Amino acid sequence: MGKIDDLIANNAAYASSFELGALEPAPTLRVAVVACMDARLDPAKALGLNEGDAHVMRNAGGSITEDMLRSLAVSQWMLGTEEVVLVHHTGCGMEGLPEQAAAQRVQGESGTPLPFSLGAFDSAEDDLREGLRKVRDCPYLRSHQVRGFMYEVETGRVREVQA
């Protein structure tokens, strides 16, 4: 696991000049971001977030799953966030992924069937709109203020998408 040793060395450099030990747990901007896990997207850099500013949740696709709703509930009720930003992106691997063939490949190579859908979608923008609706309509969230963006991996720019 040589790559991870490199990351630990990187961390030592980060910690050597660390001066943020007094940050509060509650995000100062009262914002929560739900974004795709994609390696090309760094939500903090792309949105100008500093340590302490915002919660950042991420999964494959950036879709609003139960785990993301759970995390948003914790974020809003326990730690006071009031606005939600959803970030999908161009060139997403979940867009157009052949769900059934992919699941069969995993089962064939691992010998174990996947106990869930991989969460592929036909259109990242449509999945983003579905996420916007889910957050707006979720009866157990405290705030339904949400906006959604497509991050363009080609340009680094975010483009707003309406629900």
Reduced to 3 states (helix: H, G, I; strand: E, B; else coil), residue 10 is: helix
Instruction: Residue 34: count other Cβ atoms within 10 Å of its Cβ.
Output: 28
How many residues form the binding site for a second copy (CB under 8 A)?
96
Of the candidates 124, 132, 141, 161, which one interacts with a second copy according to CB under 8 A? 141
How far CA 117 is from CA of 65, 71, 77, 111, 147, in Å, comes to 12, 20, 29, 17, 26
The alpha carbon dihedral of 156, 53, 83, 81 has a sign of positive
Q: Which of 118, 125, 129, 133 binds a second copy (CB under 8 A)?
A: 118
Position 1 contacts a second copy (CB under 8 A): yes
Q: How close are the terminal C-alpha atoms of the chain, in Å? A: 43
Q: Write out the E strands in the chain.
A: 31-36, 54-59, 83-89, 146-151, 158-161
Q: Does 25 interact with a second copy (rule: CB under 8 A)?
A: yes
- Residues 47 to 106 in contact with a second copy, rule: CB under 8 A: 47-60, 65-71, 73-75, 77-79, 83, 85, 91, 93-94, 97, 102, 105-106
Q: Check residue 115 for interaction with a second copy (CB under 8 A).
A: yes
Selected binder of a second copy within 96, 123, 156, 163 (CB under 8 A):
156
Residue 38 in contact with a second copy, rule: CB under 8 A:
yes
Among 125, 129, 133, 142, binds a second copy (CB under 8 A): 142
132 lies in the site for a second copy, by CB under 8 A: no
